Structure 1
Amino acid sequence: MSTESVAKRLVAMCRHGQFEEAQHELYAKDAVSIEPEGMAQGPLGNVKGLDAILEKGKRFQAGVTEMHGIEVSEPLVAGNWFSIAMTLDVTMKEYGRVTMQEICVYHVKDDKVVQEQFFYDAGG
């Protein structure tokens, strides 16, 4: 599966809220997830390994009371890398309704995502 194929599959699954399924299907067992500086040490911070990434996703979902909408851009592919813009409209237990906007960058190796990195303004 080419980087472009992985990117298109991830986008399609994210648009349907199938984040965990996408991780099971498309991520390497030793994939790394990187958050912005200042968020790296938090409960949803940097982790290594598919099991840790899945657990991070479960912690995020546990804080969501309602998902109102998901928007995911078309992927921008360059070699073994691709990026997407993602906007989530969610109601969080702790913060109420918020719109979360981020740039997500992925590295693909041997047909699997080996790294994801997120760029967003925390608390803003």
Structure 2
Amino acid sequence: MNTEQIAKRLVELCREGKYEQAQDELYAQDAVSVEMEGSPGGGAGNVKGLDAIREKGRKWQESIETIHGGSVGDPVVAGDWFSVAMGIDATYKGIGRMDMKEICVYQVRDGKIAHEQFFYNVG
């Protein structure tokens, strides 16, 4: 798949809430995931490797009590890169309700997502 096809497929799966399927289908084994510096509670941290990304996703899902809404925008593609605006309105265990908006940036290498980085307000 090329970058545009991967971007569209990621958006499709995220809109369906199929994050693990997206990782299994679209991510490189050595992919890197980067969070915002200073994210609450250390955030999910920066990790390398598909297994670590899956674990990061599981921990994030376990931290949620209730999802009140969410959004996944259309991708913007430039060469081997694409970005997607995403949002989630959720109540988190021990934190409370937050309506979070972020820009997610992805790099594609050899037909797989090799790098993801998230940009959002901290604090």
CA distance in 1, matches of 2:24, 2:67: 21
Secondary structure in structure 2 of the residue aligned to 1:122:
coil
Q: Does structure 1 conserve the Cα–Cα contact (< 8 Å) formed by 2:87 and 2:100?
A: yes
- State how 1:23-34 maps to structure 2 within 5 Å: 23-34=23-34
- State how 1:41-120 maps to structure 2 within 5 Å: 42=42, 44-120=44-120
- C-alpha deviation, 1:38, in angstroms: 2.1
CA distance in 1, matches of 2:38, 2:90: 22
Give the structure-1-normalised TM-score: 0.94
CA distance in 2, matches of 1:43, 1:120: 12
- C-alpha deviation, 1:95, in angstroms: 1.7
CA distance in 1, matches of 2:16, 2:70: 8
Secondary structure in structure 2 of the residue aligned to 1:59:
helix
- C-alpha deviation, 1:43, in angstroms: 5.1
Amino acid at match of 1:22: A
Amino acid at match of 1:62: E
Quick one: percent identity of the two aligned structures?
A: 58
Structure 1 segments unaligned to the other structure (5+ residues) = none
Alignment: residue pair count = 123
- C-alpha deviation, 1:97, in angstroms: 1.7
- C-alpha deviation, 1:16, in angstroms: 1.1
Q: Does structure 2 conserve the Cα–Cα contact (< 8 Å) formed by 1:3 and 1:80?
A: yes
The alpha-carbon distance between structure 1 residues 34 and 50, as it changes in their structure 2 partners (threshold 3 A), is same
Q: Does structure 2 conserve the Cα–Cα contact (< 8 Å) formed by 1:17 and 1:70?
A: no
